[in-house]
């Protein structure tokens, strides 16, 4: 069962309690960065008269995980996409590959790490909700099983069809995300990417990579390098599994 968040833009009052709770939970400085940074894992962006939270989408099949050559980013079976700094070699492929341009880097640190929301993995593993969902005073951010959140979102849209846009953002974008949004203003007007594929990006085909803006300037050599490393890793996994199964048969 995979956990997630449902963010209802019609309910958000822009109080930024989620930002503050995230900072406290992750022991981050109380600065007021205008966007995601290495010390801001979620940001409430003003979009006209609406407020839109920005954060890691905790993709069901995350591209950041698929391009990481050393497995520093992992999708857990309970939902959060987590990061192991002891494995990270600082290549920053994850930053280039994320279709939502989420991961940030500690450029000014002597031992830089990649930073992003990790869906309060320790709280969630203990059966608690995320700090941001707990802090939201109006239920604009709610935490739960992704499937339940989808049903809840569908119910809200069904009950007030004149109010809501008939779409759950994250239901199928890039193969589905753990963070879901519903709204009364079309997503494209709120700065959401609406040109994303409805299937997972980790296939890493040229067609897919061309949809990732940061890759455009990265160049073919690096793309080929990423593709080679990722395919090789899959091959090694397969070879290991085959060797194991042969061993079991003997």
CB of 46 to ligand SF4, least distance (A): 11
Q: Across-strand partners of 53? A: 44
CB of 250 to ligand SF4, least distance (A): 40
CB of 165 to ligand SF4, least distance (A): 18
Residue partners of 133: CB distance under 8 A and separation at least 6: 5, 18, 141, 142, 143
CA 42 from centre of chain: 11
CB of 87 to ligand SF4, least distance (A): 15
Q: Which stretch binds ligand SF4 (CB under 6 A): 19-27, 148-156, 190-198, 238-246?
A: 19-27
Would you say 191 or 242 has its CB closer to ligand SF4?
191
Distance CA 60, CA 170 (A): 10
Distance CA 15, CA 64 (A): 30
Q: Are strands 3-8 and 179-182 parallel, antiparallel or unpaired?
A: parallel
Q: Which stretch binds ligand SF4 (CB under 6 A): 125-133, 155-163, 165-173, 234-242?
A: 125-133
176 binds ligand SF4 (CB under 6 A): no
**Which residues 198-237 are close enough to bind ligand SF4 by CB under 6 A?**
none
Would you say 29 or 161 has its CB closer to ligand SF4?
29
15 binds ligand SF4 (CB under 6 A): yes
Would you say 88 or 102 has its CB closer to ligand SF4?
102
One residue of 3, 4, 6, 22 binding ligand SF4 per CB under 6 A: 22
Instruction: List C-alpha distances in Å: 161 to 70, 153, 154, 166.
Output: 46, 12, 10, 7
Would you say 81 or 91 has its CB closer to ligand SF4?
81
Q: Could you tell me if 192 and 204 are in contact, meaning their C-beta atoms sit under 8 angstroms apart?
A: no
Shortest CA distance to 104 belongs to which of 112, 114, 94?
114
Q: Could you tell me if 12 and 44 are in contact, meaning their C-beta atoms sit under 8 angstroms apart?
A: yes
- Say which DSSP state 128 is in: P
116 binds ligand SF4 (CB under 6 A): yes
Distance CA 6, CA 16 (A): 16
Would you say 141 or 250 has its CB closer to ligand SF4?
141
Shortest CA distance to 202 belongs to which of 170, 180, 234, 179?
234
One residue of 6, 36, 44, 68 binding ligand SF4 per CB under 6 A: 44
Q: Could you tell me if 137 and 14 are in contact, meaning their C-beta atoms sit under 8 angstroms apart?
A: no
CB of 122 to ligand SF4, least distance (A): 10
What are the residues binding ligand SF4 (CB under 6 A)?
12-18, 21-22, 25-26, 41-42, 44, 51, 53, 55-59, 62-64, 81, 98, 100, 102-103, 116-120, 130-132, 135-136, 138, 140-141
């Amino acid at each position: 069962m995979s956990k997630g968040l449902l963010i209802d833009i019609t309910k958000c009052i822009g109080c930024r309690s989620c930002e503050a709770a995230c900072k406290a939970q992750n022991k981050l400085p109380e600065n007021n960065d205008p966007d995601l940074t290495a010390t801001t894992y979620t940001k409430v962006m003003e979009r006209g008269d609406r407020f839109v939270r920005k954060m890691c989408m905790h993709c069901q099949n995350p591209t950041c995980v698929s391009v990481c050559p050393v497995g520093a980013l992992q999708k857990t079976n309970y939902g959060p996409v987590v990061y192991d700094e002891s494995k990270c070699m600082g290549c920053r492929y994850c930053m280039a590959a994320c279709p939502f341009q989420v991961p940030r880097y500690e450029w000014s640190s002597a031992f830089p790490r990649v930073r992003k929301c990790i869906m309060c993995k320790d709280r969630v593993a203990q059966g608690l909700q995320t700090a941001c969902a707990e802090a939201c005073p109006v239920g604009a951010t709610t935490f739960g099983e992704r499937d339940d959140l989808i049903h809840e979102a569908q119910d809200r849209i069904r009950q007030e069809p004149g109010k809501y846009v008939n779409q759950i953002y994250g239901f199928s974008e890039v193969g589905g995300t753990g963070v879901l949004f519903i709204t009364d203003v079309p997503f494209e007007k709120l700065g959401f990417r609406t040109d994303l594929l409805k299937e997972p990006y980790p296939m890493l085909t040229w067609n897919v990579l061309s949809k990732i803006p940061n890759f455009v300037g990265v160049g073919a050599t690096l793309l080929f390098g990423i593709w080679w490393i990722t395919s090789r890793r899959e091959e090694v996994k397969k070879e290991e599994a085959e060797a194991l199964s042969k061993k079991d048969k003997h």
